[in-house]
Amino acid sequence: MMDTPTGRMLTPLSTLVRRIAVLLGLLVTGVALGACTLPVAPANARPQVDAFNGAIANLDAYVLPTPAPTTQPDLSIVIATQGSRANIRGGPATDFPIVGKANPGEAYEVVGRSEDNTWWQICCIRIGADGNPIADDADQDEDGWIADSVVRLAGEDEAVGITRPVFTADLAAEWAVNWECGSERCEVAQCTATVQAQVTRAANQQLLPIEHQVTWDDACFDTDTWVFEVNQYSGKERTGEYQDNFLYSYWLGREPGRANGVFTLQDERAAAVYCSGPHEVEIEEGGGWTTVYEGNTCHDVQTGMLVYLSYNKRWLFTGEYEGESYERAYFGDYETLEQKLVETTAELLFVEKRR
């Protein structure tokens, strides 16, 4: 398998890097440039790919669903423990992981409740490395859950709605992948694949273990599997570290951004999506080689799951070769990938075309 046609970097990276380098005739050990004796291509000569390759339609041609009228709850909870701190959890049960601690007497805004009325969803918790809520100017904020048994209410709770999971244990999804290599030295010039995701085992601390498998047509590359753990209620991948790396961004979480496009699935249903980019990721491969990924993503605006991904990947060389010095030299070798959601059991935000 090539390194992340599926949007995922494997561990260790070096195995995949060397495999790609062999296909391109580029030894990442830096011993030789192989057949790459072409002059450095000017910037405007490298492949230019339309941001979404026609896969995303203009939002203006569609009608967004009218939001159900809601009343903003005017309710806070105050921590009512006797001297001890209360646990703030990632979901409405004690088997969700603890995401922070609340001190006695602290007050939090309520944004939702559990179906059995035993847990309150609170906003907005900014969590530090020590697990404590931190200042409002912090970078990371989270919704959290706190048990009704350790708080007292301040306000009216009639308008507080039930917060339901973003994803459930019957989650399944499938993406189609098209990968191409733009080099005469490629042993494989083009290949297609299917990525399937589903929950195949019991939740761990209420985190859904979503198993992904990529299968390449004609066995171009090896089948591979991996697991992302996703919070059922926030829809976010457990660590959150992939939010800023578009190659990994399968599960951004509930309402990742405002709708700015529409993607049509294989069954002709159209989903409102939040598209962003261009994104860029650089990876040092060793031996003087750097790979640069430039691409765009689209996520469903309701669940935050990946709907569309595309990227161009270039190989750049810095070092000495045959008496010449190179600084991030590009020799014309590149890869492209496009990945599209085919179908899913997730509740996307579907829209209708204007009449």
DSSP secondary structure letter of residue 93: S
- Alpha-carbon distance values, 202 to 42, 120, 283 (Å): 52, 25, 35
Helices H / strands E in the chain, number of each: 1, 19
User: Cα–Cα distance between 64 and 353 in angstroms, integer?
Assistant: 9
Q: Which residues contact 291 (CB under 8 A, 6 or more apart)?
A: 3, 17, 282, 283, 285, 313, 314, 315, 316
The pLDDT value recorded for residue 69 is: 53
Lowest model confidence (mean pLDDT) among 67-71, 207-211, 214-218, 230-234? 67-71
Question: Where do the domains of the chain lie, and which CATH numbers do they carry?
Answer: 13-63+166-353 (no CATH), 75-155 (2.30.30.40)
The pLDDT value recorded for residue 70 is: 55
How many Cβ atoms sit within 10 Å of the Cβ of residue 232? 21
User: Cα–Cα distance between 287 and 316 in angstroms, integer?
Assistant: 11
Q: In what order do the strands lie in the sheet with 142-147?
A: 98-102, 86-89, 142-147, 119-125, 107-113, 75-79, 151-155
Lowest model confidence (mean pLDDT) among 13-22, 125-134, 318-327, 344-353? 13-22
Q: How confident is the model at residue 251 (pLDDT cuts 50, 70, 90)?
A: very high
Q: How confident is the model at residue 125 (pLDDT cuts 50, 70, 90)?
A: confident
Residue 129 has pLDDT above 60, yes or no: no
Please provide the DSSP assignment of 238-254 as one string.
SS-GGGG-GGG-SBB-S
The pLDDT value recorded for residue 289 is: 94
Mean pLDDT (whole number) for 40-51 = 40
User: Cα–Cα distance between 177 and 212 in angstroms, integer?
Assistant: 13
Mean pLDDT (whole number) for 318-325 = 93
User: Cα–Cα distance between 325 and 329 in angstroms, integer?
Assistant: 9
Between the CA atoms of 225, 230, 235 and 241, what dihedral angle is there, to the nearest 10 degrees? -90
- What are 169-193's pLDDT values in tens digits? 999 999 999 999 988 878 899 999 9
Query: Does residue 295 contact residue 313 with C-beta atoms inside 8 Å?
Result: no
Lowest model confidence (mean pLDDT) among 140-144, 227-231, 235-239, 276-280? 140-144
* Residue with more model confidence, 130 or 61: 61
- Alpha-carbon distance values, 137 to 127, 140, 253 (Å): 11, 9, 21
DSSP secondary structure letter of residue 45: G
Mean pLDDT for the chain? Answer: 80
Q: How confident is the model at residue 126 (pLDDT cuts 50, 70, 90)?
A: low
Query: Does residue 326 contact residue 317 with C-beta atoms inside 8 Å?
Result: yes
Label residue 276 exposed, middle or buried (CB < 10 Å: 0-12, 13-18, 19+).
Answer: middle
User: Cα–Cα distance between 299 and 142 in angstroms, integer?
Assistant: 19
Query: Does residue 59 contact residue 136 with C-beta atoms inside 8 Å?
Result: no
Provide the whole-model pTM.
0.78
Tokens of 332: 């014309």
